[in-house]
Amino acid sequence: MLTIPLITFHGRLVGVMQLINAMDDAGRVTPFSGEARRMVPLLSNIAAVAVDRGIMNREMILRMVRMAELRDPSETGPHVQRVGAYSAEIYQQWAQKNGIDAQEIRRKKDLIRLAAMLHDVGKVGIPDSILKKPAKLTDSEYEVIKQHTVLGGRLFVGRTSHLDTMSMEIALNHHEKWNGSGYPGCIIDIMAPEIQTGPPKVSTEIPLSARIVALADVYDALCSQRYYKQSWSEDRVLELIEKESAQHFDPEIVAIFFSLLPVIAAIKKRFPDA
């Protein structure tokens, strides 16, 4: 057995690499060779860098979540944790149903869990007078708050990873609706000072990740109490979601959601509001 600690350049222990049951060419158990003992530490250094980068990405996301929470009292830590967890489970069921490779499912499931947590990060650019207003918004105020989708998308324009790409898809599109009545619609130039939009996206024009998060976010928001509203009963929320199948929500995603209700309940229990 050859065991090597995974230590980053900063001296942080992030894991352990363990190789077992070395064998010779005849398949007999043998001690690890001198060459293996020289090469494996090099491999462990590469693994340590990869693990450290993953930890840094996760920490950066959690910092962005906390930043959004400071700006918007409705964007609580438990809320985004639940939306991320709901989205990951819905994606896994969808992917298995559609014959996606198991390795791809594992990769995308982790990505959507993290990216979904940033769905409303664009609200950091919305004025407090609108974001924290304890009453119904006026039409003009509602037009301003709708801009959070584009503002969130802008944060990920310099995409350097699959996580950035999915985070942009979700932030920009999670308020689009299956029947084409959502927002913000097709963006002419996401970085233009003035936001210019084209027609709303319809059905599968909306990225899958955003269609999943759209349902997860609405479900959790309606089930949760906010400073401007009381929580709805579970039955009332489920009735609305069923009614909005093929209207607001992708009908396939709605069907998968209802098949996962015991899992959804367990996630709610795991991440309760304070």
CATH assignment of the domain containing 265: 1.10.3210.10
Residue ending a domain, choose from 71, 86, 105: 71
pLDDT tens across 101-117, in order? 999 999 999 999 999 99
Number of domains in the chain: 2
Residues 262 and 158 in one domain: yes
Per the document, the length of the chain is: 274
- 123 is in which domain, residue-wise? 73-270
Residues 229 and 250 in one domain: yes
Which of 123, 177, 201, 268 does the annotation list as catalytic?
A: 123
Contact between 220 and 82 under an 8 Å Cβ cutoff? The reply is yes
Residues 63 and 85 in one domain: no
Residues 61 and 82 in one domain: no
Which residues of the chain are modeled with pLDDT < 50?
none
Residues 46 and 174 in one domain: no
Residues 103 and 199 in one domain: yes
* Whole-number CA gyration radius for the chain: 22
Residues 107 and 23 in one domain: no
pLDDT, position 3: 93
Contact between 206 and 199 under an 8 Å Cβ cutoff? The reply is no
pLDDT, position 74: 63
Please identify which residue in the block is written with the tokens 């584009």: 150
Question: Of 24, 260, 228, nearest to 137 (Cα)?
Answer: 228
- Which are the contacts of 171, defined by CB distance < 8 A and separation ≥ 6? 118, 119, 120, 121, 122, 149, 152, 153, 155, 156
Active site residue 123: yes
- Mapped onto helix, strand or coil, the DSSP state of residue 247 is coil
Structure-token pair, residue 97: 């149903």
Residues 42 and 124 in one domain: no
Residues 219 and 154 in one domain: yes
Q: Compute the Cα dihedral for 70, 75, 78, 82 and give only its sign.
A: negative
Residues 62 and 88 in one domain: no
In degrees rounded to 5, what are phi and psi of residue 55?
-65, -40
Residues 78 and 170 in one domain: yes
For residue 12, CA distances in Å to 31, 51, 142 come to 29, 11, 47
pLDDT, position 73: 63
Residues 63 and 84 in one domain: no
Residue ending a domain, choose from 22, 43, 71: 71
Q: Alpha-carbon distance 29 to 33, whole Å?
A: 12
Residue ending a domain, choose from 52, 71, 90: 71
For residue 148, CA distances in Å to 90, 195, 210, 216, 236 come to 25, 11, 15, 18, 28
For residue 201, CA distances in Å to 55, 206, 215 come to 34, 6, 16
pLDDT, position 227: 67
- Which are the contacts of 74, defined by CB distance < 8 A and separation ≥ 6? 221, 224, 226, 227, 228
Give the DSSP letter string of 172-233.
HHTT--TTS--SS-SBS-TTSSS--B-SPP-GGGS-HHHHHHHHHHHHHHHHS-BTTBPPPP
pLDDT tens across 133-189, in order? 878 889 999 999 999 999 999 999 988 889 999 999 999 999 999 999 999 999 988
